Amino acid sequence: MVEQLFGSKTRVKLLKLFYSNPNRSFFVREITRKIDEQINSVRRELANLLSVGIITSNTSDTNNNKLYYEVNQEYTYYKPLSEIFNSGAVMSPKTKKAGISKKADNPLKMLGNVQLALFTGQFTRDEHSGVDFLVVGDINNVQLEKYVAELEKNENKELRYTVMTMKEFNYRNQINDRFINNVFNSKVQILVDKQNIMNSKKGK
């Protein structure tokens, strides 16, 4: 049904990928691997989405000048399309919205009592924070290592991650810790934010 409305199976897969991962950028071969479609079909649909303005493209200065694609959050119909294709919530320096990603919530539950979890760094191509994955709460380290290992396998890259208790996070936040401030000022994708931490901090 959705494929009929939006023209092609590849286009629908692309829309789901981009709208489920706002603030994340992908290069072509990474996209073809994630949505399991032929590269020529992917290139054709990316060109269509670019021409309409649904996505944007830019070249990375730090990754061999690869061309990356990302959903355009300034697109006129971004919100209605997001309601159709996005199951989660994200946050950027421009558009700060706290929430829980339904897609990522289930595996994260295995880690323990997760209060805050987010992607940044390599995921959003913003190295300001110096970390790719941050998780805060009462965390089972064994399960966390398994989760990160699976994440690295799926992303085909080594990831930097930081884990801390809620008490440590609150203390470091209170004293304006440099690392925490860098995270707040970075482009991030929120997986879990049970206490609306990111939005509250930005509102101060």
Report yes or no on 80 lying in a domain: yes
112 in the same domain as 38? no
**Average pLDDT, whole number, for the chain?**
84
Residue 10: what pLDDT? 93
User: What CATH code is carried by the domain that includes residue 37?
Assistant: 1.10.10.10
57 in the same domain as 110? no
146 in the same domain as 78? no
106 in the same domain as 71? no
| DSSP of 80-143 | HHHHHH--S--B-SSSB-----HHHHHHHHTTEEEEEEEE-BTTTTBTTSS-SEEEEEEE-HHH
Report the pLDDT averaged over residues 80-93.
Answer: 66
Report yes or no on 64 lying in a domain: yes
49 in the same domain as 109? no
181 in the same domain as 111? yes
CA distances from 40 to 28, 29, 37, 44 (A): 10, 11, 9, 6
**Euclidean distance between CA atoms 163 and 175, whole angstroms:** 18
135 in the same domain as 43? no
Average the pLDDT over each of 83-87, 139-143, 170-174 and give the range with the smallest value: 83-87
Query: Which of 15, 56, 55 has its CA nearest to residue 37?
Result: 15
Report yes or no on 122 lying in a domain: yes
141 in the same domain as 71? no
pLDDT higher than threshold 80 for residue 6: no
192 in the same domain as 113? yes
Report yes or no on 117 lying in a domain: yes
Report yes or no on 110 lying in a domain: yes
Q: Which domain holds residue 108?
A: 102-202
Q: How many domains does the chain have?
A: 2
109 in the same domain as 71? no
Do residues 89 and 101 make contact, with C-beta atoms less than 8 angstroms apart?
Answer: yes
User: pLDDT tens across 92-132, in order?
Assistant: 444 444 344 444 445 888 999 999 999 999 888 888 889 99
Pairing of strands 189-193, 112-119: antiparallel
Report yes or no on 91 lying in a domain: no
51 in the same domain as 13? yes
User: pLDDT tens across 138-150, in order?
Assistant: 999 999 999 999 9
176 in the same domain as 107? yes
Report yes or no on 96 lying in a domain: no
- Which among 85, 116, 144 is the end of a domain? 85
